[in-house]
Amino acid sequence: MNLSQFLLILYARKYIILATLLVTVTLTLMVSLSMPKTYQATASVLLNYKGVDPLTGMAMPSQLLPGYMATQIDIISSKNVAGRVVDQLKMAENPTVVDQFKKATGGNGTVRDWLAGLLLHKLDVVPSRESSVVEINFKGADPQFVAAVANAFAEEYQKLSIELKVEPMKKAAAYFNEQTKMLRGNVEAAQSRLSKYQQDNGIVSVDNRLDVESNRLNDLSAQLVSAQGQAMEANSRQGMAQGARGADSPDVAANPLVQNLKVQLAGAESRLAEVGQRLGQNHPQYLSVKAEVDKINANLSTQLRAASNNVGSNAAILQQREASVRAALAAQKAKVLELNRSRDELGVLVKDVESAQRAFDATSQRFSQTRIEGASEQSDIAVLNPATAPLGANGPRVMLNTMLSAFLGVMLGLGFALLTEMIDRRVRSETDMAEVLQMPVLGVIDWTAPKRRRYSAINSLLPRRLRLG
């Protein structure tokens, strides 16, 4: 089928198309005029959300931000919000509404849920394309009622958003409160153990006491080294003084009595030699001088032994001092080790106290923060434009419906025309003849049927004088 054939079919079936168009437009117009008027109220809310909590300052993960708007729209159009709107407007308390509910559902379910479903059916939530404004549209037959419902949805959505944020914080605050009490008990127990340990061991300041005892240990170590050196030297002097050549010992030789006796002995021996040259050995003077020499030798020997014993006594004293210093050093070392052990044990207790204190401080801070968040009534949602009662009806849109019905009527008319042509196919041009007979067309006779006289059938039945036309 080419365009000329299509146009010929449309021209031939023009009455069908016009009739279909007329019927469609007429029915649409009648239905539109008979429909009750509907009104639409719009409440605009602003989702002033920046992804940062105003209390904690914590930023929301970036991957959750794209779904924030969709989540808020789902909350607005939730059955929870619709039920709150029913409760706020006290719609379920109306006896007429209760009767309608019983007729519609047979008493199954609750009036609140039934009304919530009806409200959601007439609710339309539209987010702005490039802003954070959401429009809450509600349609109904009463202008004042639709405005009240739209405002109620905005208000209840704002309240619910605060509850959804506050309720978890309240539960978390209760949990942190219990944890804070437990951690406070841990801190007190750790502090009590630390104080008891300090009292039992008489510890005021371990570090200062340890410094004093360490310095004393160092002093004793230095004294022990010095005493050991002196004892070694004294042992050497004692060995020399008590040996075969004790008289040659410097300690013995330096003795003033020994030196004086040696001088006296030298003088006596000199006199004895002089007397021995002059007198015989049996001479009384010789014997007297010799007796003096013997006496001096005896005194010298006594003094040498005494000096040697003094050296030995000095060595014994130094050895005893070394032993005393060594014992004091050992006792001091044990005391320092005990202080180190006490400091380690005290350090463990101090760390326990510090760890318990840090846990308590962190939990207490978190508890304060969650308690503030739980008591906060701040909301990210603000009513930008409250709904007002519409002045004009939103529907039915007679002009728009008429235009759409005209377009639909034309389409239906075309469809009916083509369907009628398919059922009753006729030859309307030489092209149709050529296609049907599969033969070339040699010529076309331009024939027009004669005009039929009006009233010809009636005139044939009437006498000539009474004929019409």
Residue 186 in any domain: the answer is no
Q: Which residue range is the domain that position 144 belongs to?
A: 37-169+377-398
Task: Choose from 72-76, 203-207, 315-319 the range with maximum mean pLDDT.
Answer: 72-76
Q: Write out the two tokens for 16.
A: 């069908």
Nearest residue to 343 via CA among 442, 197, 130, 135? 197
pLDDT of the residue at 340: 76
- Which range has the worst mean pLDDT, 40-44, 60-64, 393-397? 60-64
- Domain shared by 132 and 249, yes or no: no
- Domain shared by 212 and 350, yes or no: yes
Residue 290 in any domain: the answer is yes
Per residue in 244-255, pLDDT (tens digit) is 444 555 555 556
pLDDT of the residue at 323: 83
- Mean pLDDT over each residue of the chain, to the nearest integer: 78
Nearest residue to 289 via CA among 302, 298, 276, 299? 276
Please name every residue paired with 382 in a beta bridge, in sequence order, or none if there are none. 46
Contact 429, 8 (CB under 8 A): yes
- Domain shared by 254 and 266, yes or no: yes
pLDDT of the residue at 94: 87
Only one residue has tokens 């394309």, namely 129
For a pLDDT cut of 70, what percent of the chain falls above it?
A: 77
Please name every residue paired with 135 in a beta bridge, in sequence order, or none if there are none. 44, 126
Residue 389 in any domain: the answer is yes
Report how many domains make up the chain. Answer: 3
- Domain shared by 349 and 419, yes or no: no
**Predicted confidence (pLDDT) at residue 399 exceeds the cutoff of 80:** yes
Residue 29 in any domain: the answer is yes
Position 466 confidence tier, pLDDT thresholds 50, 70, 90: very low
**Predicted confidence (pLDDT) at residue 110 exceeds the cutoff of 80:** yes
Only one residue has tokens 């490039």, namely 130
Amino acid letter for position 141: A
Higher-scoring residue by pLDDT: 85, 318 = 85
Position 226 confidence tier, pLDDT thresholds 50, 70, 90: confident
The residues, any chain, with a CB within 8 Å of residue 246's CB and separated by 6 or more, are 240, 252, 304, 308
**Which of 365, 398, 431 represents a domain boundary (last residue)?**
398
Higher-scoring residue by pLDDT: 82, 350 = 82
Position 199 confidence tier, pLDDT thresholds 50, 70, 90: confident
CA angle 442, 445, 450 (to 5 degrees): 165
- Domain shared by 215 and 362, yes or no: yes
Higher-scoring residue by pLDDT: 319, 403 = 403
CA 102, CA 96: separation in Å to the nearest integer? 10
**Predicted confidence (pLDDT) at residue 341 exceeds the cutoff of 90:** no
Residue 453 in any domain: the answer is no
Residue 109 phi, psi dihedral angles, 5° rounding: 90, -160
Position 62 confidence tier, pLDDT thresholds 50, 70, 90: very low
Position 369 confidence tier, pLDDT thresholds 50, 70, 90: confident
**Which of 359, 374, 389 represents a domain boundary (last residue)?**
374
Q: Write out the two tokens for 324.
A: 């005393």
- Domain shared by 236 and 356, yes or no: yes
pLDDT of the residue at 251: 55
For a pLDDT cut of 90, what percent of the chain falls above it?
A: 17
- Domain shared by 343 and 406, yes or no: no
**Predicted confidence (pLDDT) at residue 468 exceeds the cutoff of 50:** no
Per residue in 259-278, pLDDT (tens digit) is 677 777 777 777 777 777 77
Residue 198 in any domain: the answer is no
CA 336, CA 210: separation in Å to the nearest integer? 7
The residues, any chain, with a CB within 8 Å of residue 366's CB and separated by 6 or more, are 176
For residue 59, what is the domain's CATH number?
A: 3.30.1890
**Predicted confidence (pLDDT) at residue 458 exceeds the cutoff of 60:** no
CA 401, CA 396: separation in Å to the nearest integer? 8
- Domain shared by 58 and 155, yes or no: yes
- Domain shared by 151 and 245, yes or no: no
- Domain shared by 319 and 240, yes or no: yes
- Domain shared by 318 and 367, yes or no: yes
- Domain shared by 20 and 46, yes or no: no
- Which range has the worst mean pLDDT, 62-76, 96-110, 397-411? 62-76
pTM exceeds 0.75 = no
Residue 174 in any domain: the answer is no
Please name every residue paired with 381 in a beta bridge, in sequence order, or none if there are none. 47
Per residue in 151-189, pLDDT (tens digit) is 999 999 999 988 888 888 888 888 888 888 898 898 889
Residue 455 in any domain: the answer is no
Per residue in 7-54, pLDDT (tens digit) is 878 888 888 889 999 999 999 888 888 878 888 999 999 987 655 454
pLDDT of the residue at 12: 82
